[in-house]
């Protein structure tokens, strides 16, 4: 019923020793760590929650100096100090910057800001933070036309993010960028397919192990034959309105990318179910929402069509979690990946994780990823996950009679490290 505290604590100790691989983040490889407190408090989790709690969006206008903006933001954040998101800030401040108070306020932010600025001077800061977090590798999120030179591939793994390309293809500058980075002159379906192939190849040679995309709820991949793809590609390339066919174009591009993932041994990370821009008055990056009631079934053409490609799936809506677990249970090329965004909440993770562990093959679970914008948050988030994992393994695995303590440690190692390494072919 309840794990002995002693068992949970022993597991937590063993789990802390496992170096993890973070398969999805937005950490910028050129500036992975915060240089100021504002870099951290500007994280959309804080700005959107503070705004939601009543803060005027102008408080965080980019041109306001820290001395004006931070005290007001911190005042507003008093309303969110019950949340797990707030607890991430406290945890990283304590673990990485020696912060000792219970709450961060307009009265105590300056010493923390100074500590962050001092730490930023250390040119090995990223390595130090990740080492303290016991994170071995962090996946990046790169736009298709990002410059991939100069990435410290000892710490970071590039990933080709497809959203701009697939959902922005009707934008001429996107099409021009694609031509530029691939060297393919786009004329129709065949050349577009070739460009996509070169793009995936371009990322693979720079060390990418996966492509990634977020899809709106209800997105259904449709079958697209070569003639249809050629027709719609030609229309798009000459800037024609293709509103009727935009779904064919998008599906076709996804299918072509999946095909190339198969050829080149890359995983396809899909984050399913976000409505972009749903809330019109939100702050920057704070306008997207989930939709209850949508289903993963629209991905079946992709999953069935490319059995040789591993699809690492995340969902945004609690109503899809059991469906996702069923896909992981049954479909060989589906891996369950982490606990995304609005589902990245301890009470939700705890329930879902127990069910995953009891019903999905243990080699098909990527336990967690940080989705962090700065390395510091990866520490706080993974620490949160490690605590949940310890508790769930203690209660819902060992004490529920599914295996011994050593088996639980072995499962933790798979979820945090071995599965990401094997699945992503690191």
Per CB under 8 A, the list member of 35, 36, 71, 79 interacting with a copy of itself is 79
**Do the Cβ atoms of 321 and 338 come closer than 8 Å?**
no
Q: Minimum Å distance from CB 62 to a copy of itself?
A: 20
104 vs 25: CA distance, rounded Å: 25
Per CB under 8 A, the list member of 115, 228, 264, 326 interacting with a copy of itself is 326
The phi and psi torsions of 201 (rounded to 5 degrees) equal -60, -45
Q: Give the burial class of 1: count Cβ atoms within 10 A of its Cβ; 0-12 exposed, 13-18 middle, 19 or more buried.
A: exposed
258-297 residues in contact with a copy of itself (CB under 8 A) are 275, 278-282, 286-297
Q: For the stretch 128-141, what's the b/e string if a residue is b when 16 or more beta carbons lie within 10 angstroms of its beta carbon? A: ebbeebbbbbbbbb
Tokens 């961060």: give the residue.
104
244 vs 224: CA distance, rounded Å: 14
Our CB check for a copy of itself shows the closer of 127 and 387 to be 387
340-399 residues in contact with a copy of itself (CB under 8 A) are 342-343, 345-348, 351, 354-355, 357-364, 391, 394-397
Decide if residue 411 touches a copy of itself (CB under 8 A): yes
Tokens 């793994």: give the residue.
157
Decide if residue 421 touches a copy of itself (CB under 8 A): no
Per CB under 8 A, the list member of 81, 170, 177, 179 interacting with a copy of itself is 81
Per CB under 8 A, the list member of 23, 69, 92, 321 interacting with a copy of itself is 321
Alpha helices in 183-272 (DSSP H): 189-205, 226-237, 246-264
21 vs 23: CA distance, rounded Å: 6
Q: Candidates 45-53, 168-176, 221-229, 233-241 — which segment interacts with a copy of itself by CB under 8 A?
A: 45-53
Decide if residue 223 touches a copy of itself (CB under 8 A): no
Q: Minimum Å distance from CB 422 to a copy of itself?
A: 10
Q: Minimum Å distance from CB 323 to a copy of itself?
A: 4
Decide if residue 332 touches a copy of itself (CB under 8 A): yes
389-408 residues in contact with a copy of itself (CB under 8 A) are 391, 394-397, 400-404, 407
Q: Minimum Å distance from CB 17 to a copy of itself?
A: 20
């Amino acid at each position: 019923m309840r794990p002995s505290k002693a068992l949970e604590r022993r597991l937590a100790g063993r789990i802390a020793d496992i170096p993890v691989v973070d398969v999805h983040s937005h950490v910028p490889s050129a500036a992975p760590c915060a240089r100021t407190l504002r870099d951290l408090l500007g994280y959309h989790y804080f700005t959107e929650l503070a705004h939601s709690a009543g803060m005027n969006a102008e408080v965080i206008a980019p041109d306001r100096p820290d001395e004006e903006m931070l005290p007001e933001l911190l005042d507003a954040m008093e309303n969110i100090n019950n949340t797990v998101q707030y607890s991430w800030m406290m945890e990283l401040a304590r673990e990485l910057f020696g912060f000792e108070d219970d709450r961060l306020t307009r009265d105590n932010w300056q010493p923390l800001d100074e500590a962050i600025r001092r730490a930023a001077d250390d040119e090995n800061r990223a390595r130090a933070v990740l080492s303290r977090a016991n994170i071995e590798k962090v996946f990046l999120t790169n736009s298709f036309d990002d410059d991939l030179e100069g990435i410290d591939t000892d710490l970071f793994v590039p990933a080709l993010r497809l959203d701009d390309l697939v959902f922005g293809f009707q934008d001429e500058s996107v099409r021009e960028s694609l031509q530029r980075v691939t060297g393919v002159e786009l004329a129709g379906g065949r050349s577009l397919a070739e460009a996509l192939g070169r793009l995936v190849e371009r990322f693979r040679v720079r060390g990418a192990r996966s492509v990634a995309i977020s899809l709106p709820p209800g997105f259904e991949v449709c079958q697209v034959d070569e003639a249809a793809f050629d027709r719609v590609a030609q229309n798009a390339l000459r800037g024609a309105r293709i509103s009727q066919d935009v779904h064919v174009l998008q599906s076709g591009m996804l299918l072509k990318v999946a095909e190339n993932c198969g050829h080149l041994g890359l995983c396809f990370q899909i984050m399913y179910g976000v409505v972009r821009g749903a809330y019109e008055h939100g702050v920057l990056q704070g306008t997207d929402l989930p939709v209850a009631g949508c289903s993963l079934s629209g991905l079946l053409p992709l999953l069935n069509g490319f059995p040789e490609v591993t699809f690492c799936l995340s969902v945004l809506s609690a109503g899809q979690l059991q469906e996702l677990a069923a896909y992981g249970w049954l479909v060989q090329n589906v891996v369950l990946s982490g606990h995304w965004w609005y589902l990245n909440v301890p009470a939700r993770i705890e329930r879902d994780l127990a069910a995953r562990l009891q019903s999905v093959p243990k080699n098909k679970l990527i336990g967690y990823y940080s989705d962090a914008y700065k390395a510091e948050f990866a520490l706080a988030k993974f620490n949160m996950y490690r605590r949940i994992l310890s508790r769930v393994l203690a209660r819902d695995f060992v004490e529920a009679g599914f295996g011994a303590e050593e088996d639980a440690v072995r499962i933790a190692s798979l979820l945090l490290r071995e599965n990401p390494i094997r699945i992503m072919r690191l």
